[in-house]
Structure 1
Amino acid sequence: MRDFSDDLSRLRTSLAEARQYLRIDDLRDQRPELETEATRPDLWDDPDRARAVTGELAALVDDVDAYEGLEADVEDAETLAEMAREEGDESLEPEIEAAIAELRERFSRLELRSLFTGEHDEADAIIEVQSGEGGADAQDWANMLLRMYLRWAERGGFATEIEEVSEGSEAGISSATVMIKGRHAYGLLRSEHGVHRLVRMSPFNAQGKRQTAFAALKVTPFLEDVPDVVIDDKELRIDVYRSSGAGGQHVNVTDSAVRITHLPTGIVVSCQNERSQHQNKDRAMQILKAKLAEVARLEREAELDEIRGEQHSVGFGSQIRSYVLQPYQMVKDLRTDHETGVVDAVLDGDVDPFMEAYLRWRRAEDLATT
């Protein structure tokens, strides 16, 4: 009969670590107060406060339930192993091994939560895809990136709202803005901020030559309420235009799209997804405030790479990740050195291993500088 005591002991250690990094004792202390506040009859008289309370409670319950589920399953595995040992029943070994393997995987996924240390890691995210150098291939590549992150969001259970899409002059898209909603959306997507490079045999080249194309992804935490940001209407240029998605593929076409330019900073935001000009303007202003809040935060902290990463031109020498389709197949992150040869899976939204590698790399970098 195999001895599982070392495996089970390591699971117990992982459970104790999870109790610490999830702050389970603190969460249990906070829960009654939050539950009481969440059931107040007048809670929704202040919608912003109501969303904050219910969001905090949902996150708390999620963490506590995840921990308690693991705690119960570790105990079940220990009980099963003890029963098999006492009875000398070797037929239970495969079941015990499977239970231990599954628990290891669950602890590995849960450990990611300990890597979310940024101020806004739990927030929703605004992502902006922008084509760069490479002509038609770059516009096609921007469209491929947009699809990749939409598929990633779908696989991860995140809600998406496409705010604006500008068609490319030759193919694909020139730019797109998408809201991705869900817990840790920004914490995960901040790893993707930067320039992405594609190498392939160009479908737009009659000679079928290999082509390099670039597109950039900008990621901003979306904050529902930004009280410190005050915008003077005189600093804004507001343009109204007819929206145009890629053949209706990405956006509900309206006649009331809104583009707002913040003149002092040059920041431009657009929204064309809502049904009225008023709604589009309100959403565009929300996005603008979030972006201005980020600028202010970066100026205060003087650490540009803390939230947005270094800013580069969208071209050669500036990429964070390369996607090579020919002459071989590989996706490689140039910061973490994480790579895979399964390019199709990545382009279909399997980006989580790159995000996890970045979070671990970022933590190691932070520890090395402290």
Structure 2
Amino acid sequence: MDFETQVVLHNLKKSVEVIRRQLDIEKKHARLEEIQALVDSPTLWEDQSSAQLLLKEKSQIETSLKEFKELSIQLDDLIEMIELASKGGEEEAMKDLERDLLSLKEKIQKKEIECLFSGEADGNDCLLEIQSGAGGTESNDWAMMLLRMYTRWAEIYHKFQVQIVDKVEGEETGIKSCTLKVMGKNAYGWARTETGVHRLVRISPFDANAKRHTSFAKVFVSPCIEGEININIDEKDLKIDTYRASGAGGQHVNKTESAVRITHLPSKIVVQSQSSRSQHQNKAEAMQMLKSRLYEIELRKKEEKLNAARNVEDSIGWGYQIRSYVLHPYQMIKDLRTGHEVGNITSILDGDLDSFIIATISSNF
């Protein structure tokens, strides 16, 4: 076994031990025993809401313990196989094991990052909204590229489920706006640092003179509301409009005003939904979106107070440019908050975003 591999294995063992402490594995086992005793009680379902929350907590703890156990076993097995292959001089086997080692290293790194998800909503599903900036066709196309990037990131790299809640097509190409619901463990924790302005520099495919253009799009991420969280909204603070849903055509499109737009007057937040043929369902979906946006504002206020107490500057915001994607005259994607940059633009636009997200989350701790 070469020295470099020894160092990697040593660091991974340290990382697994850090994860054990951060997850507080022993405490989780004790809590699971407590919950199991409550679940076995014949009075469990006398309070259905409490029972559901208890079962959800049980499932989360079981998943966490299972994932940690699997990581530990995988590392122990890999160490044993590398030692055997190294002693036997099996070069081909070592090449395969080195690939397995790289894959396990990425898994452990992701688990370390997930241990940093300490926010009250980090474990929730989330809404990810994309809005094209000024510039018409150019910005609409850039917004569509971001939609593809985030969809692939969620579905391929994290196995999250993605649902389009609302989508407004551009006149010629691309999209003016789109809202995705991203569903999966820690979806909000992983996506929340993507809020901000994303800038693209490229030779325009829509310019006959092949000139360089700069386009902007905004991304906003808010947590879906779960459990006992209450967001009170006064009906008199709402302006509700209905309109005909846009789409690719068909017998159900543009015949009834099923799409719903809600404006929250005090905050000036606007949400809309046209994913259902039912106006009632679209209104309910739009209200949930509004609650998520208001909930995110409350979380941000809490975070700002915490950062003020810790003397940490929070520069992430709706109008703040966070990342630059330069396709011409050179190729480079750079995060303006952390300085992290990647030259392989194709992989990033294909959804391989985690290095940027991990760098941002890690910089806050």
Indicate the TM-score class for this superposition, using the shorter chain for normalisation: 0.7 to 0.9
Matched, 1:116 2:117: yes
Cα deviation, 1:292-342, whole Å, max 9, x if unaligned, reads 223234445545989992342xxxxx5211111122222111111111122
Cα deviation, 1:99-127, whole Å, max 9, x if unaligned, reads 65554443223212222222211111111
Sort the Cα spacing of 1:55 and 1:152 in 2 relative to 1 into closer, same or farther, 3 A.
farther
Supply the distance in 2 between the matched residues of 1:214 and 1:31 (Cα, whole angstroms): 48
Q: How many residues align?
A: 354
The equivalent residue for 1:242 is 244
- Residue 317 of structure 2, aligned match among 310, 319, 333: 310
The equivalent residue for 2:131 is 130
Cα deviation, 1:231-284, whole Å, max 9, x if unaligned, reads 221211111111113x369x9988411111112221111111123111111111
Give the AA of the match of 2:203. Answer: M
The equivalent residue for 2:188 is 186
Sort the Cα spacing of 1:162 and 1:73 in 2 relative to 1 into closer, same or farther, 3 A.
closer
The equivalent residue for 2:347 is 345
Q: C-alpha displacement at 1:223, in angstroms?
A: 0.9
Residue 264 of structure 1 aligns to a residue whose secondary structure is: coil
Residue 115 of structure 1 aligns to a residue whose secondary structure is: coil
Matched, 1:354 2:356: yes
**TM-score w.r.t. length of structure 1:** 0.83
- After superposition, residues 194-213 of structure 1 pair within 5 angstroms as 194-213=196-215
The equivalent residue for 1:286 is 288
Whether the aligned pair in 2 keeps the contact of 1:298 and 1:304 (CA below 8 Å) is no
Give the AA of the match of 1:57. Answer: K
Cα deviation, 1:336-358, whole Å, max 9, x if unaligned, reads 11111221221121111111111
Whether the aligned pair in 2 keeps the contact of 1:193 and 1:308 (CA below 8 Å) is no
Q: C-alpha displacement at 1:191, in angstroms?
A: 1.6
Sort the Cα spacing of 1:158 and 1:308 in 2 relative to 1 into closer, same or farther, 3 A.
farther
Give the AA of the match of 2:115. Answer: S
Q: C-alpha displacement at 1:215, in angstroms?
A: 0.2
Sort the Cα spacing of 1:83 and 1:179 in 2 relative to 1 into closer, same or farther, 3 A.
closer
Supply the distance in 2 between the matched residues of 1:170 and 1:139 (Cα, whole angstroms): 9
Supply the distance in 2 between the matched residues of 1:236 and 1:303 (Cα, whole angstroms): 28
Q: C-alpha displacement at 1:228, in angstroms?
A: 3.7
- After superposition, residues 51-70 of structure 1 pair within 5 angstroms as 52-70=53-71
Q: C-alpha displacement at 1:181, in angstroms?
A: 0.8
Give the AA of the match of 2:357. Answer: M
Sort the Cα spacing of 1:42 and 1:140 in 2 relative to 1 into closer, same or farther, 3 A.
farther
Deviates more, 1:252-261 or 1:2-11: 2-11
Whether the aligned pair in 2 keeps the contact of 1:331 and 1:343 (CA below 8 Å) is yes
Sort the Cα spacing of 1:326 and 1:278 in 2 relative to 1 into closer, same or farther, 3 A.
same
Structure 2 residue runs of 5 or longer lacking an equivalent are: 308-312
Q: C-alpha displacement at 1:130, in angstroms?
A: 0.7
Supply the distance in 2 between the matched residues of 1:36 and 1:307 (Cα, whole angstroms): 43
Supply the distance in 2 between the matched residues of 1:154 and 1:267 (Cα, whole angstroms): 28
Aligned identity (percent) is: 42
Cα deviation, 1:22-64, whole Å, max 9, x if unaligned, reads 2211211122344455677887887765654444333322221
Give the AA of the match of 1:309. Answer: I
Supply the distance in 2 between the matched residues of 1:232 and 1:240 (Cα, whole angstroms): 19
Residue 160 of structure 1 aligns to a residue whose secondary structure is: strand
Give the AA of the match of 1:323. Answer: Y
Cα deviation, 1:3-35, whole Å, max 9, x if unaligned, reads 987765544433322210122112111223444
Deviates more, 1:26-35 or 1:75-84: 75-84
- Residue 265 of structure 1, aligned match among 248, 264, 267: 267
Whether the aligned pair in 2 keeps the contact of 1:193 and 1:217 (CA below 8 Å) is yes
Supply the distance in 1 between the matched residues of 2:173 and 2:181 (Cα, whole angstroms): 23
- Residue 327 of structure 1, aligned match among 329, 338, 342: 329
Deviates more, 1:262-271 or 1:34-43: 34-43
Question: RMSD value over aligned CA atoms?
Answer: 3.3
Whether the aligned pair in 1 keeps the contact of 2:53 and 2:227 (CA below 8 Å) is no
Sort the Cα spacing of 1:11 and 1:139 in 2 relative to 1 into closer, same or farther, 3 A.
closer
Cα deviation, 1:171-193, whole Å, max 9, x if unaligned, reads 31111111111111111111211
Structure 1 residue runs of 5 or longer lacking an equivalent are: 313-317, 364-370
The equivalent residue for 2:17 is 16
Supply the distance in 2 between the matched residues of 1:102 and 1:269 (Cα, whole angstroms): 40
Whether the aligned pair in 1 keeps the contact of 2:195 and 2:318 (CA below 8 Å) is no
